[in-house]
Structure 1
Amino acid sequence: MANIKTRKEKAEKSKKIAEAALHLFEIKSFSDISMAEIAKKAGVAKGTLFNYFETKESIFMELLLIGYQEYFSTLIQLFADKKILTIGEFKKVLLDETRFLVQEQIVLVRLNALRGPVLEGRANINQTLAGRKKLNDIVIQLGQTIASKLENITPQDASHLFIIQSAIISGLLNMANLEEFNHQSLKQEFNAFQFNLEEEAVKAFEFYLHGFLVQIKLTE
């Protein structure tokens, strides 16, 4: 029992540290957040922080993986609660969720945009691998749930769409807000690069979705 309690306490401490980092990331850029600042926000000693996460990148990689685990888990429940879907209903859910990610989960999208160019360079590979395995299992379950509700789509095709959706949003995010640099206004307009992230993400994903569904011969 003692070991179980210790593991629980460690998990709670780890979660507290990650939540502190997330709160900072909501108002600051990744480069402006230090390990010392995260430790102070979490109410732990800096040395204690390093007992849980060896680098700042490890903390934010965990936030990214947990964030998507939780998000995809909510989608599993959303589709599980539905009866048999029409292709029109399925497309509406996908596009509604695209808007939701931009409106309500923009911090998660920002984290996803950092994954390849920033986080993977110094994140702990073992922690990342464990998190990715959990995420992979959840994505597989999501695809299976959708395939059970929508005729003529495979679990692989269904789950694939959400990966592309996230990639589109994160890619567009990297091209948005060019009037800012590191969260500071450049006080100069770049009209050629101005666009509405939400609308363009929906438009791009809808275009991809149409071609994808035609390719697999799943149309209204």
Structure 2
Amino acid sequence: MKRAMTEEAKTARAREILNTAEKLFLESGYRDLKMSDIAKVAGISNGLLFVYFKTKETLFLCLLWREYEKRLDFLEEHVRRKQPESFSDIQALLLEELTLLLETNPLYIRLEALRAVILERGADTDTLCRMKKRLSERTDAWSRQLEESGVLSREEIMDIYCMESGIITGCYQQSLVSASVQNSLPSTELCMVQRDYRSDILNGMKCYLEGYRRRRIRMQQRFRMQQRKAR
């Protein structure tokens, strides 16, 4: 394969590498997948692969960031089509999008669980900073768009977004621990430790959002009481 020369050709090749990495990752997982495996399937040399992605962590972080872009495209389009009018509307939007994510995108879930503990620690600094800046700009634009509904502030929206990330990571990592425990147990006891991380994530987010809704109601009630006392 000839070395890409134009920016357009380089972008196309980087995309091909990411597509190859995605396929192999879903087949074999992260730990056992080597950069040399990706280079071989992509039809390029190991040296050329490292020209495009300096480390394995950088490559998979780029793959995750591509999934972030897809998520934000979906959320922005949804808010454009139907501006939320209440917290219940926002709650329904977030749960609908999360359900779709869990049912159709195992890549995102698995990579997000690796992000803080592995990918960001081993990614090259320039790429990490550039991606974080881009993600910050996109999430800020979406939160501003959602803030126009007057239901939540940007800070509240970002709190919820970050909590969702924490729930995804925690539940998926817990499922891996449960899986390792299963390997040491007889089949008659497996039902005691088997977990469905998709259900755990969705139920965890539902509980968090419901608690958030109730807390907002209590705060609003307290604020109205203070206003009445001040009159």
Superposition TM-score tier, normalisation by shorter sequence = 0.7 to 0.9
Which amino acid counterpart does residue 90 of structure 2 have in structure 1? F
TM-score by length of structure 1 reads 0.86
Q: What RMSD, in angstroms, separates the aligned Cα atoms of the two structures?
A: 2.2
Q: Give CA-to-partner distance per residue, 1:130-167, whole Å, 9 cap, x none.
A: 11111111111111111223x33112212331221122
Going from structure 1 to structure 2, the CA distance change for 1:77 and 1:159 (only over 3 Å counts) comes to farther
SS of the residue 1:153 aligns to: coil
CA–CA distance in structure 2, aligned partners of residues 116 and 86 of structure 1: 32
| Cα pair 2:36 2:46 within 8 Å, conserved | yes
1:92 paired to 2:89? no
| Cα pair 1:178 1:190 within 8 Å, conserved | no
Q: Which has the higher helix share?
A: 2
Going from structure 1 to structure 2, the CA distance change for 1:130 and 1:91 (only over 3 Å counts) comes to same
SS of the residue 1:24 aligns to: helix
| Cα pair 2:87 2:213 within 8 Å, conserved | no
Q: Which residue number in structure 1 is paired with residue 143 of structure 2?
A: 143
1:112 paired to 2:112? yes
Q: Give CA-to-partner distance per residue, 1:52-71, whole Å, 9 cap, x none.
A: 11211110011112211221
Q: Which moved more, 1:104-113 or 1:187-196?
A: 187-196
Which stretches in structure 1 are left out of the alignment for 5+ residues? none
Identity of aligned residues (%): 24
Aligned length: 211
Q: Which residue number in structure 2 is paired with residue 56 of structure 1?
A: 56
1:121 to partner: Cα distance? 2.9
1:32 to partner: Cα distance? 0.9
SS of the residue 1:195 aligns to: coil
CA–CA distance in structure 2, aligned partners of residues 15 and 56 of structure 1: 15
Q: Which residue number in structure 2 is paired with residue 213 of structure 1?
A: 213
Q: Give CA-to-partner distance per residue, 1:168-216, whole Å, 9 cap, x none.
A: 02210111154645xxx83745444323323222221122112223334
1:42 to partner: Cα distance? 1.4
Which stretches in structure 2 are left out of the alignment for 5+ residues? 221-231
Q: Which moved more, 1:30-39 or 1:202-211?
A: 202-211
Which amino acid counterpart does residue 168 of structure 1 have in structure 2? I
1:7 to partner: Cα distance? 1.8
| Cα pair 1:57 1:119 within 8 Å, conserved | yes
Q: Which residue number in structure 2 is paired with residue 12 of structure 1?
A: 12
Going from structure 1 to structure 2, the CA distance change for 1:108 and 1:170 (only over 3 Å counts) comes to same
Q: Which residue number in structure 2 is paired with residue 40 of structure 1?
A: 40
CA–CA distance in structure 2, aligned partners of residues 170 and 84 of structure 1: 27
1:127 to partner: Cα distance? 0.6
CA–CA distance in structure 2, aligned partners of residues 44 and 71 of structure 1: 30
SS of the residue 1:25 aligns to: helix
1:23 to partner: Cα distance? 0.8
Q: Looking at both structures, which has the greater relative contact order when contacts are Cα pairs under 8 Å and sequence separation is at least 6?
A: 1
CA–CA distance in structure 1, aligned partners of residues 105 and 173 of structure 2: 15
| Cα pair 2:179 2:194 within 8 Å, conserved | no
CA–CA distance in structure 2, aligned partners of residues 92 and 83 of structure 1: 12
Q: Which of 183, 203, 209 lines up with 1:186 in the alignment?
A: 183
1:166 paired to 2:165? yes
1:101 to partner: Cα distance? 2.0
Rg comparison, structure with higher value: 2
CA–CA distance in structure 2, aligned partners of residues 75 and 148 of structure 1: 14
| Cα pair 1:177 1:194 within 8 Å, conserved | no
| Cα pair 1:57 1:120 within 8 Å, conserved | yes
1:84 to partner: Cα distance? 4.3
CA–CA distance in structure 2, aligned partners of residues 113 and 84 of structure 1: 29
CA–CA distance in structure 2, aligned partners of residues 118 and 190 of structure 1: 29
